[in-house]
Amino acid sequence: MDENEIIEKVIKDIDKLFPKKCSCCGILFENFLDFIEKTEIPAHAFDSNFMVMHLHNIYDILALRNCKCKTTIALPCAIDPEFKKEIVLFLEKEAQKLNIPTEKMAGLLRDKIIKSVHNRSK
């Protein structure tokens, strides 16, 4: 799978998670774009707001965003376990090519996903 295919599948998987409510204040996020627009990347984790996990053959990627009430919301970037593995391995491979940390590569992918979601809304 190339980067564009991964971006498309991530967006498709994330779309399945909505509508979603903040567990603290109850704000409703109708869709992924609404979620992006009503939340922000936590200040302490701007470059690494992704938790990329690859431990004992368990793969996961969680995007961390703060609701306006300051509650941190973890959003899984993939639903299917095999796709989670594919994303993590892609990030690790690309990070190695660019000689950057995996989390930094995840941040670059995040930015492309967000840009793609914004472009679709136009």
The size of the chain, in residues, is 122
pLDDT digits (tens, 9 = 90+) for 13-22: 999 999 999 9
Residue 18 Cα distances to 5, 11, 31, 49, 66, angstroms: 21, 11, 5, 20, 16
Query: What was the pLDDT predicted at 104?
Result: 86
What residues have CB less than 8 Å from 7, skipping those under 6 apart?
109, 112, 113, 116
Helices (H), 45-121: 81-98, 102-121
Return the higher-pLDDT residue of 110 and 47. 110
Query: What was the pLDDT predicted at 53?
Result: 60
pLDDT digits (tens, 9 = 90+) for 70-101: 999 988 877 788 888 898 889 999 999 999 98
